Structure 1
Amino acid sequence: MLIRKLIFQTSKIRPSSPGLTTVFLNHRYVSTTSKPKVTPSEKPVLDPYLKVPKVGGGRTFSRSHNISTLDPARLVPTDFIDLKQQLYFAVRYRNISVMFATYKRVAAIAKRTEYGYPLAFPAGTHGYFYLHHPPTDAHPCAATLRFRICDKILPPQKGFPGGKDLLLPTGAPWEMDLLHLLTTPYVTNFREALLLDNMVLSEEALSQLNGLLAAHRIRDRLPSRNVFSFRQPFSVSMGKRSTMLSLVDLQTNTLLPIQIFTQIAERTDKTLASTMCLEYDPFTPLHMVIRVLHIPEEFRGEAYVNMGGTLPLRKAGGKLTSSMADVLLRQSPSVPSHVSLDIALD
């Protein structure tokens, strides 16, 4: 009877972006009308009236796993989480931030109406949440939240290096970028928790993100691929001819949407994804080319280019000018004179 009541209370909730939702079952819920307790060490950083996520008529779930850090070097055994076969997770980060998410939402059509339903985390999904930093020659704001599959028997510092990142069915990493984490209503107080988790992300990078968010008040329609600099990897579906990107200008606090052709094979397959990045090339009209970093094994041998090869940048829609290259060039920590192909995908 209790489960039916919870389903009824949360049946009208919709995710703010793909992969996020707030339906949770088999948890005890409590009222959230009281002000959250703040420890003395947190007072200099925290607002005394921090947001508390509300689910199902102003209630939230009190039993959720608490993790101490997103820094792989400082993980402790109690940060270990087992998500296998779960539809959703509720995680508290340093007892301040609350994160609600699911593995993946799958579209379905019933009676001419399209809707999404959650896909459970695959078997063997046990390990640690961590903040994955981009390559050293990409902007630090391109960091993402990932899940590392590790052996519970080994201590974190030994098990983490030998683990593997959780992947989506397409082969792309399961991840949530910083802009989504800082804006979705289903992840609360994430900035405050990052500040307390020293050395996870610099205050300068957070300040840049705050300026962008304050200028746009991004909420529901945030692009799924936000590119901050050259050499930042992004996933591309093998089932589409083109890909929509959003180039982020942190100096002017603007988002520059572009749609570019990224098809690399005649055959298509929506269940698989390749990995690409933008690179600076002053000898091309738009001063940018597309570097192909990874091709699914099923497409190797039939792609137009090999892994490590480049594609000319061609727009599929929207405005595209050479000034966009200047934005990425300004935000790229380094643009090597000789291109290296050692970007790690895991």
Structure 2
Amino acid sequence: MALRLYACLHTTAAFFSVPSPRQCGRRFFTASRILPRIPWHAPFYIQTLDPSKLIPSDFVDLSGRNRVTYNARLADNSRIRTANALYYEYALGDNATFPTDTRGFLYFHAPSREVRFRLLASNDPRHFAKGTDLALPSGEAWCLKTAVLATRARAAGFRALLVQDGVRMDALASSSHGAQLSLFQRRKHIRRVTRLGETFPVRFNLKCMHLAVGTPVTLVPWQSPFKWSVQPEDSGQAQIALERSPLPEHRGRRVLVLRVHQISGNPQLRPEMKAFPHHHLYMPREGSLVYRKMKGNGLRPEPWAYDIDAQRRSSDRARKIFRELWDRDEGSDNTHNV
């Protein structure tokens, strides 16, 4: 009886025993080659979003990362950890990673009331003004919008830093209602404009879009300035900007014009436009103003222009918003070539 009980216990122990690494080393080695390794990134801390208060330790590297966790370190040495808070572009899928060389500083962009990422080659904050903002594939600046900063849990650390930096969160929350753009609204080709001279993308195959102007945001319907010049099947786009008109015929008046800053792709002029005199002006060119066909029976092209004080049938809301942009602009650079 004792011998039978011993045999039973011995069999049970053998069944539940864990094999030694030598016994199953081959299996462990095979599994380690099959299962992909998950990259580990050390957590980073930021202590301010104010560009004037940045220090070298605020310099972060997001290259090739997705769903980034950040840590906010406050003045009292308390910390706020926010997991899976930063990602590059939701529309590209959950696995979309930040582009290569995404190194620089997270900061609060006061005119648009957004958190943006300033790309820099070094961790010296003194070179902040020489950097450029991280952009999305559409050409728009990567950012955490006002509505996200004011309401979302993934911006909790940023909110604490903004309060510490002196930003009024009650004003930020009140403006977040107009800044909330639903996914349905984004599909209507909304472009954000907070000041004159700020570039925004316009696709050549787009007929109409909405400008999200000012803070809080007001949506202004707008026809594409390239609708009647570039062939509709062109897949490229241009970065354009509203600016004060430098043209002599607009001197003394408040007139806005459009300037092309960058072109992606190879736009082609519509065949019917080639019958007009000076048809080459219709073709968008980097550094030049946007031209369109003259109203009425005129055949010569004229620059796209918007007189914000003219009496017209267009929306009073649009004129009001463009006046606010004009008044907010402290100065304009009219040294470009026409």
TM-score (norm 2): 0.56
Amino acid across the alignment from 1:81: V
The match for 1:326 is 320
Rounded Cα–Cα distance in structure 2 between residues aligned with 1:105 and 1:184: 15
Calculate percent identity across the aligned residue pairs: 20
Contact (CA 8 Å) 2:63, 2:98: kept in 1 or not? yes
Question: Does residue 87 of structure 2 align to residue 102 of structure 1?
Answer: yes
Rounded Cα–Cα distance in structure 2 between residues aligned with 1:293 and 1:231: 11
Amino acid across the alignment from 1:176: L
The match for 2:13 is none
Shift of 1:77: 2.1
Rounded Cα–Cα distance in structure 1 between residues aligned with 2:144 and 2:335: 24
Rounded Cα–Cα distance in structure 1 between residues aligned with 2:160 and 2:68: 21
Amino acid across the alignment from 2:321: V
Amino acid across the alignment from 1:309: L
Amino acid across the alignment from 2:209: T
The match for 1:187 is 155
Closer, same or farther: CA 126–229 of 1 in aligned 2, 3 Å? closer
Closer, same or farther: CA 275–186 of 1 in aligned 2, 3 Å? farther
1:129 to 106, 110, 117: 106
Shift of 1:125: 1.7
CA offsets, 1:137-171, max 9 Å, x none? xxx3x2432222333xx442345345443233344
1:276 to 241, 246, 271: 241
The match for 2:191 is 225
Contact (CA 8 Å) 1:248, 1:256: kept in 2 or not? no
Amino acid across the alignment from 2:63: K
Bigger radius of gyration among the two? 2
1:148 to 115, 118, 136: 118
Count of residue correspondences: 250
Contact (CA 8 Å) 2:113, 2:145: kept in 1 or not? yes
Closer, same or farther: CA 240–309 of 1 in aligned 2, 3 Å? same
1:309 to 265, 280, 289: 289
Helix, strand or coil: the match of 2:240? Answer: strand
Rounded Cα–Cα distance in structure 1 between residues aligned with 2:284 and 2:201: 16
The match for 1:78 is 57
Contact (CA 8 Å) 2:59, 2:104: kept in 1 or not? yes
Question: Does residue 193 of structure 2 align to residue 213 of structure 1?
Answer: no
TM-score (norm 1): 0.55
CA offsets, 1:87-110, max 9 Å, x none? 221223344584812112455xxx
CA offsets, 1:251-284, max 9 Å, x none? xxx7344243243633666565523237689x8x
Closer, same or farther: CA 269–173 of 1 in aligned 2, 3 Å? farther
Helix, strand or coil: the match of 1:91? Answer: strand
Contact (CA 8 Å) 1:230, 1:278: kept in 2 or not? yes
Closer, same or farther: CA 26–144 of 1 in aligned 2, 3 Å? same
Helix, strand or coil: the match of 2:223? Answer: strand
Closer, same or farther: CA 166–334 of 1 in aligned 2, 3 Å? closer
CA RMSD of aligned residues (A): 4.2
Amino acid across the alignment from 1:74: K
Amino acid across the alignment from 2:108: L
Rounded Cα–Cα distance in structure 2 between residues aligned with 1:128 and 1:168: 17
The match for 1:88 is 67
- Within 5 Å, give how 1:1-346 maps onto structure 2: 64-94=43-73, 95-96=79-80, 98=82, 100-106=85-91, 116-133=93-110, 140=111, 142-151=112-121, 154-188=122-156, 190-198=158-166, 201=167, 203=168, 207-213=170-176, 218=180, 220-221=182-183, 225-248=191-214, 250=216, 255-263=218-226, 265-266=230-231, 270=235, 272-277=237-242, 289-296=256-263, 298-299=265-266, 304-306=283-285, 307-310=287-290, 311-312=304-305, 320-330=314-324, 332-334=326-328, 340=334
Rounded Cα–Cα distance in structure 2 between residues aligned with 1:271 and 1:259: 19
